[in-house]
């Protein structure tokens, strides 16, 4: 499976990506996680992108495309992958076409009001990227990671003003990808209602991917 996840910030891409990657034994490639890890390590890339990410703007296309091209060359991507956070512009989508052929796009839909509630309540474990929500997915012990017991933090871009900036950026730069993938030949576009609880969203995605698998088997 060579898949792309689309959807507003906070639509539930990262949450659902973990289930899909485990089910199909494919790597979950989150560009946000890669950038945050680079920022944490203060690598050259991290230094370049730190302020851009904190402000909720997009990192330049050439940096992101090189990063994904290198990542997709790694062995674990031979039998498929799940891209979460890439592409985010038409230029990135066009560059991706030159690198590999995508089979399916899962577009998780959610309203802007729900996004604000989801992201202001999100807490993360920075070292692993594990995600929680104060109401919808609370940790077993308040403010502590379930696995390591280490403290959870609020992402610097998860404060309301920055969330609104990210939504604005999404509407202008990323939302054209919806039409792009809806009309792309040989790519299965799957629209999923992200407003339902996590297990229901997971089930709807599983059903859509089963249909896609059956369609592939017929072609093979």
Active-site positions? 13, 88, 122, 155, 166
Among residues 100 and 131, whose Cβ is nearest to ligand AP5?
Answer: 131
Q: Are 52 and 166 in contact (CB under 8 A)?
A: no
Among residues 122 and 189, whose Cβ is nearest to ligand AP5?
Answer: 122
User: Could you tell me the smallest distance in angstroms from the CB atom of residue 183 to ligand AP5?
Assistant: 21
Instruction: Give residue number: closest CB to ligand AP5.
Output: 32
Residue from 81, 85, 130, 152 touching ligand AP5 (CB under 6 A): that is 85
Among residues 152 and 188, whose Cβ is nearest to ligand AP5?
Answer: 152
Residue from 37, 91, 131, 154 touching ligand AP5 (CB under 6 A): that is 131
Please tell me whether residue 90 binds ligand AP5 under the rule CB under 6 A: no
- Show the binding pattern over residues 31-50: x = contacts ligand AP5 (CB under 6 A), - = does not: xx--x---------------
Token pair recorded at residue 92: 């990135």
Among residues 53 and 106, whose Cβ is nearest to ligand AP5?
Answer: 53
Q: How many residues of this chain interact with ligand AP5, rule: CB under 6 A? A: 35
Please tell me whether residue 192 binds ligand AP5 under the rule CB under 6 A: no
Residue 177, strand partner residues: none
| Stretch in the footprint of ligand AP5 (CB under 6 A) among 19-27, 37-45, 84-92, 211-219 | 84-92
For the chain, the distance separating the N- and C-terminal CA atoms, rounded to the nearest angstrom, is: 13
Q: What would the 3-class secondary structure string for the chain be?
A: CEEEEECCCCCCHHHHHHHHHHHHCCCEEEHHHHHHHHHHCCCHHHHHHHHHHHHCCCCCHHHHHHHHHHHHCCHHHCCCEEEECCCCCHHHHHHHHHHCCCCEEEEEECCHHHHHHHHHCEEEECCCCEEEECCCECCCCCCECCCCCCECECCCCCCHHHHHHHHHHHHHHHCHHHHHHHCCCCCEEEEEECCCCHHHHHHHHHHHHHHHHHHHHHHC
Please tell me whether residue 139 binds ligand AP5 under the rule CB under 6 A: no
Pairing of strands 130-133, 104-109: unpaired
Q: Which residues bind ligand AP5 (CB under 6 A)?
A: 7, 9-15, 31-32, 35, 52-53, 56-59, 64, 85-86, 88, 92, 118, 122, 131-133, 136-137, 157, 166, 194, 197-198, 201
């Amino acid at each position: 499976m060579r898949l792309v996840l689309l959807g507003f910030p906070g639509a539930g891409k990262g949450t659902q990506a973990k289930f899909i990657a485990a089910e199909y034994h494919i790597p979950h490639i989150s560009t946000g996680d890669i950038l945050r890890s680079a920022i944490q390590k203060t690598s050259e890339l991290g230094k370049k992108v730190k302020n851009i990410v904190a402000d909720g703007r997009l990192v330049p296309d050439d940096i992101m495309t090189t990063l994904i091209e290198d990542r997709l060359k790694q062995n674990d991507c031979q039998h498929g992958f799940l891209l979460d956070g890439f592409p985010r512009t038409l230029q990135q989508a066009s560059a991706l076409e030159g690198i590999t052929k995508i089979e399916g796009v899962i577009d998780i839909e959610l309203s802007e009001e729900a996004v604000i509630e989801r992201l202001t309540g999100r807490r993360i474990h920075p070292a692993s990227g594990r995600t929680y929500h104060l109401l919808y997915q609370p940790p077993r012990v308040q403010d502590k990671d379930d696995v390591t017991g280490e403290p959870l933090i609020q992402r610097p871009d998860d404060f309301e003003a920055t969330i609104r900036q990210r939504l604005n950026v999404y509407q202008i730069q990323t939302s054209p990808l919806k039409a792009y993938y809806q009309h792309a030949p040989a790519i299965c576009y799957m629209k999923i209602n992200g407003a339902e609880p996590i297990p229901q969203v997971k089930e709807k995605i599983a059903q859509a991917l089963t249909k896609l698998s059956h369609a592939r088997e017929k072609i093979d």
